[in-house]
Chains A and B, each alone.
Chain A
Amino acid sequence: MSESNKKNSPSRRQFLTGAASVGAGALAAGTTHASGPDPLITQVQDWASGTGDGVDVTPYGLPIQFEQDVVRRNVEWLTADTISSINFTPIHALDGTITPQGCAFERHHSGAIELRKEDYRLMINGLVDQELVFTYEDLERFPRENHVYFCECAANTGMEWAGAQLNGAQFTHGMIHNMEYTGVSLRTLLQEAGIKPEGKWIYVEGADASSNGRSIPLEKALDDVLVAFKANGEALRKEHGYPVRLVVPGWEGNMWIKWLRRIEVKDSPVESREETSKYTDNLANGIARKWTWVMDAKSIITSPSPQAPIKHGTGPLVITGLAWSGNGAITGVDVSIDGGKTWVEARLAAPGQDKAMTRFYLDHIWDGSEMLLQARAKDATGYVQPTKTQLREVRGLNSIYHNNCIQTWWVNESGEAENVEVS
């Protein structure tokens, strides 16, 4: 990316494209009025005459070239290098709830390592009756479960604490993915080793150089934590922990240890780097919260949004987005087009599932006037997603993590959207 195309930010380029079509008068009631027969219909097209690719051309396919902008993106200035860093899922361009693995966000602390199944070992040690070592093949012989869960980085939306910074849902809310996992209940593995009565915590770490060690209370470990080896039907991607990762439903992504190599049963937490220096939330008075494990109810309108402006003019408009909660199922999502003065209930594409993403739609008739779009999630506990003002009143500006505030997109009369804050 060169300095020379600095003006070609996604929103500006798309805005310009949209503006051009306005100029061409293609906007009347949002429908193309044919001035004559459409050659795409009246003329025989190549694809209707010749042949396409044979079945041997693509043993494992990638998206068609026209979708090449639906990719992970990083933000260089966020971190010192790209090894201990983050990239973002293109949620503005996706629909439904399942995140394609190939564009699902990555967060590494010492890079995405390559670990063969043959070289994989999982150790359970500490306060157990029998310390054990498993091979990958061993893990495949335990009874399996399938569950869909979201994995959200604790820092998702973290750059937005002080104000509206990054212009796109991918950047403000894209440290998240939602997959169907296949694996073994951690409970099953711990029972295989036998937990001693003094065991109150587990400490889990990865095979990579960062190790990413974290402490988890035994109660959660025995509840719904999975030792997963498949996601969305196939093996985990390298960058998502191949061949084995921890899935910790509803809890901050940092605890979803990738390349999982060791589970130690302990009587107390380790207070590792990733739960003292990092993933602790500094409050305004200088005291920090620790062990803020759960990700609270949150939602985001993915379209329209800065990377997905309205280009079709007035009339029917699909307002859509995602909602999720680490405290249970999403029970409803409200949408406002006037910055929170009035709200209407959106339609959930399917009933909310426990600690998984929910897709919502609001089928709107846009009159072409500007909108301040917001979504507000509600979960099964009665919790309602707060505004940024509400969060700041409790926490101040420096807690970095767990920003689940209501997002506002300012959609102007041309259909271009911008990340803003409102009173």
Chain B
Amino acid sequence: VYAGTYGLGRPALPEEVAAWDLDVSPNGTGLPAGSGSVMDGEEIFADQCAVCHGDFAEGVGNWPKLAGGADTLDHEDPLKTVGSYWPYLSTTWDYVNRSMPFGNAQTLEVDEVYAIVAYILYSNDLVEEEFVLSQDNFLEVDMPNRDGFILDDRDKTEYSVFNDSCMSDCKASVEITMRALVLDVTPEETAAKGAAVE
């Protein structure tokens, strides 16, 4: 029963909720009806996405790589992509639909989003070239790292361990093992600062 304690605000209209409530959940809730093929996706991706993410979703320069990195998560320098890391396909659909392309978000049609997501799957070797993604087969796609996440377990693995409040004779010797000035990647000061110091 609607409480309306302060009687502030007004009822949201169905059209308004539909316009803003776009999120898609792992179980597919929120997915609109539609479909798109890898082949269509390749074309749209080339037009809309490849300038930053590369023709094969492999990434350009410092821009995010969307494909690759399979089985690297326990390596020294893991490559975390849709294929290697993301647990749910819903997230890819949801994020592309709402926030991509960067600088021109919310301009893609529903079928275009399906097609782009299909192409990203293809780029990660997760579907065949003939694949067509739709709201009907969406949950059948196998995401390799679906089981790669655990809930925050700091209360068990850290909180009971991190209690060292030793005050004296805490260690016999101390050596410097690493120095930031050796790496020398800190930004330079501005000219204005130099002038002010002098």
Contact = CB atoms under 8 A, between A and B. Distances in A.
Nearest to A293: B152
A134 B4 CA distance: 13
A224 to B, nearest CB: 19
Contacts of B87: 271, 276
Interface string B72-85: 01101110101001
B29 to A, nearest CB: 8
A277 B86 contact: yes
Contacts of B169: 341-342
Instruction: Give the size category of A's interface with B.
Output: 35 or more
A273 B95 contact: yes
B8 A142 contact: yes
Contacts, number: 294
B137 interface: no
Contacts of B33: none
Interface stretch (A43-51, A76-84, A358-366): A76-84
Contacts of B196: 65-66, 68-69
Contacts of A146: none
A80 B63 contact: yes
Contacts of A343: 166-168, 170
A277 B157 CA distance: 23
A165 B185 contact: yes
B194 A342 contact: no
Interface of A: 1, 5-6, 8-11, 13-14, 17, 65-66, 68-69, 73-77, 79-80, 83-84, 109-110, 123-126, 129-134, 138, 141-142, 163-168, 171, 188, 191-194, 203, 205, 209-211, 213, 261-262, 264, 266, 268-273, 276-277, 280, 282, 284-294, 296, 306, 334, 338-344, 372, 376, 378, 381-386, 390, 394, 397-398, 410, 418-423
Interface of B: 1-6, 8-12, 16-17, 20-21, 23-27, 52, 61-64, 73-74, 76-78, 80, 82, 85-88, 90-91, 94-95, 98-99, 102-103, 105-106, 148-154, 157-159, 161-171, 173-181, 183, 185-194, 196-198
